[in-house]
Chain A
Amino acid sequence: MDLSLSTETIGDRTIVRVGGEIDVYTAPKLREQLVELVNDGSFHLVVDMEGVDFLDSTGLGVLVGGLKRVRAHEGSLRLVCNQERILKIFRITGLTKVFPIHTSVEEAVAATD
């Protein structure tokens, strides 16, 4: 399965809905999307990973890169994820301490810190 990406704006937040597999082949597309959003002035991102079937370290690297970019503009990058198989990857790499992870887009949009 390939990667699917769509964006939506809610207030000052930009929701990036990701579906499919984020791996060494597809991660560059996600990176391009995040870079493009930041370049266009979207600094508060919510990446909705509920449709993600697979995530590897290349995908983690892209998310960390995205976080670095929005932080340079005092922005934020929040994740929405309830899938244990995906959450596990954040846990074993210690990235649960780096990313705020929410259970729904609504919760992520409402969060302020």
Chain B
Amino acid sequence: MATVELRFSALPEHVRTARLVAAAVARRAGVDEAVLDEVRLAVGEACSRAVGLHQSSGITAPVKVALIEEEKQFSIEVGDEVPHAAPRDGEPGAAVDDPDAEAEEDEMGLAVISGLVDDVEVSTGEHGGLIRMTWPTTPPPAAPLP
């Protein structure tokens, strides 16, 4: 079971909240301080992407974020509920006329995630997509007795 789960309406203003919560839980889980910036950015990218997918598909369901503390690792899963077609290789994205096209931003978001996170899995299915990112943790030293 996830240590912390978030569900938020697919609105851009909530992505920051998800970033803050994810970074706080990651810190508690023992993710290295130097990596927390990357966690914050990666979870923000994944959530922004999910929000964009929900909005462009007219899906009212919330975006789901699971923050999972495990032995020696910390994982974040960001799930959307947009049914995805099978991945298409080498097919140019639609709507490339606009420099700010959503398709381009979506790809840039994934590029940032894969550049930042060594251990990342992107899966898509008919019920939605999931990005799972994992970082190693170092267990905190045993708390001193009072």
Residues of A within 8 A of B (CB): 21, 23-25, 31, 54, 56-58, 60-62, 64-65, 68-69, 85, 89, 92-93
Contact = CB atoms under 8 A, between A and B. Distances in A.
Contacts of B41: 54, 56, 89
Given A57-B48, A61-B108, A92-B115, A23 B37 contact: no
Interface string B87-123: 0000000000001100011001101100110000000
Interface centre among A31, A68, A69, A92 (most CB of B within 10 A): A92
Nearest to A69: B99
A56 B16 contact: no
B40 interface: yes
Nearest to B105: A61
A58 B52 CA distance: 11
Contact of B112 (A57, A64, A68, A69): A57
B108 A24 contact: no
Contacts of A60: 108, 112
A24 B41 CA distance: 12
Contacts of B115: 92-93
Contacts of B116: 92
Nearest to B116: A92
A24 B99 contact: no
Contacts of B105: 57-58, 61
Contacts of B109: 56-58
A29 B44 CA distance: 18
Interface centre among A25, A56, A60, A92 (most CB of B within 10 A): A56
Contacts of A65: 99-100
